[in-house]
Amino acid sequence: MVDIIPEKMEALRLHRPGGPEALALEMVGTPRPGRGDVLVRVHAAAITRDELSWPVDRLPAIPSYELSGVAVAAGPEVRGSVVGQEVFGLTGFDRDGVAAGFAAVPARILAPKPAMMGHVEAAAIPLAGLTAWQALFVHGRLEQGQRVLIIGAAGGVGHLAVQLSRWRGAHVTGTTSRDAADLVRAAGADRVLDRTQVLESAVEPVDLVLDTVGGDALAGSAALVRPGGRVVSVAEEPPEAFGAAPLEASYFVVEPNREQLEELAGLADRGALRPAIDSVFALAEGRAAFERSLAPGKRGKVVLRVAEDPEVEGGADD
Ligand SMILES: NC(=O)c1ccc[n+]([C@@H]2O[C@H](COP(=O)([O-])OP(=O)(O)OC[C@H]3O[C@@H](n4cnc5c(N)ncnc54)[C@H](OP(=O)(O)O)[C@@H]3O)[C@@H](O)[C@H]2O)c1
């Protein structure tokens, strides 16, 4: 636990639109928790491919929108005794992220960290896990016994979507590069297809396609869905030509949701959901971490380890 909250903290900041070269590690003022906010001492923060292109009108910006840490202070109107708790969550995309020593986060979007996991693994769940949950069960309405095809099944979103689909009792097919087939199989896929394969002849029509890749893979997915089925993409808007096909096609942006996060934490604690960690970097290695997030061959999530405090760290990865 932190007794005294410092005036200044280390933070990664993006100074102009671009790639990892536009990031710098700096000392900035520690945020104060506003109404309804909790100040979290960040222990780990995970990052997502392409996220440096998201904050265009509020630069300089702190990246990373998912964290695991310890609540160290509460702002006005925060109910309950959250201070001292280990928490994790997805934060909003409209304010600074969490690649920093501390972050002020609305209490209503945080949940208790999975007890069986350390901070590094816990931080790897919120963004990809909530994206997969909302894609499959909210937008995709996936039910037990249905068939789902996950495009990009070895990615951050994809490998958790495989595990969640399996837990729901769906028949799961995943596409991936050949070298990641084992990861997708281990996540619980019934079938794993090479991404270069012609899918139309290989896949029995599915009830739902979850696309995490976009481009040609998304464009070709209409042919793989049964009449009346659904395509949900998190990579980009489906092409207009989809409008003529007898299916529902949608794109959405993930939203923080505490109830869904609690479901994910419960699954993690029961061993039904386990994030793959591609690599772990120190905050000072932020540029290298973001370069890795864009690299081909990455498997699972890239995580920044921000704090190491043996008194509060728990779980295997810490
Ligand atoms: N809309 C939202 O709310 C939302 C939320 C989360 C993420 N996203 C976006 O969704 C995308 C995926 O995110 P992520 O975190 O899962 O990224 P990721 O971890 O980089 O995973 C993408 C995966 O797709 C694979 N891939 C690339 N082209 C493929 C193809 N043609 N067929 C099959 N697999 C292919 C990649 O494997 P290789 O290594 O083989 O290339 C990689 O495993 C990103 O663009 C991200 O920004 C959107």
How do the domains of the chain map onto residue ranges? Answer: 8-125+275-305, 128-251
Token reading at 293: 């997030």
Ligand 1 atom, smallest distance to 152 CA: 34
Does 152 sit in the ligand 1 pocket, CB within 6 Å?
A: yes
pLDDT of the chain along its 318 residues, tens only? 456 899 999 999 999 988 999 999 999 999 999 999 999 999 999 999 889 998 888 899 999 999 999 999 999 999 888 999 999 999 999 999 999 999 999 999 999 999 999 999 999 999 999 999 999 999 999 999 999 999 999 999 999 999 999 999 999 999 999 899 999 999 999 999 998 887 777 788 999 999 999 999 999 999 999 999 999 999 999 998 887 778 899 999 999 999 999 999 999 999 999 999 999 999 999 999 999 999 988 989 999 999 975 544 444 444
Does 69 sit in the ligand 1 pocket, CB within 6 Å?
A: no
Instruction: Quote the pLDDT of residue 31.
Output: 97
Distance 63 CA to ligand 1 centre (A): 18
**CATH top-level class for 128-251?**
alpha beta
Distance 48 CA to ligand 1 centre (A): 9
Distance 31 CA to ligand 1 centre (A): 32
8-125+275-305 folds as Quinone Oxidoreductase; Chain A, domain 1 (3.90.180)
Does 292 sit in the ligand 1 pocket, CB within 6 Å?
A: no
- Residue closest via CA to ligand 1's atom 2 equals 253
Instruction: Quote the pLDDT of residue 197.
Output: 80
What string of H, E and C letters represents the secondary structure of the chain? CCCCCCCEEEEEEECCCCCHHHEEEEEEECCCCCCCEEEEEEEEEEECCCHHHCCCCCCCECCCCEEEEEEEEECCCCCCCCCCCEEEEECCCCCCCCCECEEEEEHHHCEECCCCCCHHHHHCCHHHHHHHHHHHHHHCCCCCCCEEEEECCCCHHHHHHHHHHHHHCCEEEEEECHHHHHHHHHHCCCEEEECCCCHHHHCCCEEEEEECCCHHHHHHHHHHEEEEEEEEECCCCCCHHHHHCCCEEEECCCCCCHHHHHHHHHHHHCCCCCCCEEEEEEHHHHHHHHHHHHCCCCCCEEEEECCCCCCCCCCCCC
Q: Do domains 8-125+275-305 and 128-251 have the same CATH topology?
A: no
Burial code (b: 16+ CB inside 10 Å, e: under 16) for 137-147 equals bebbebeeebb
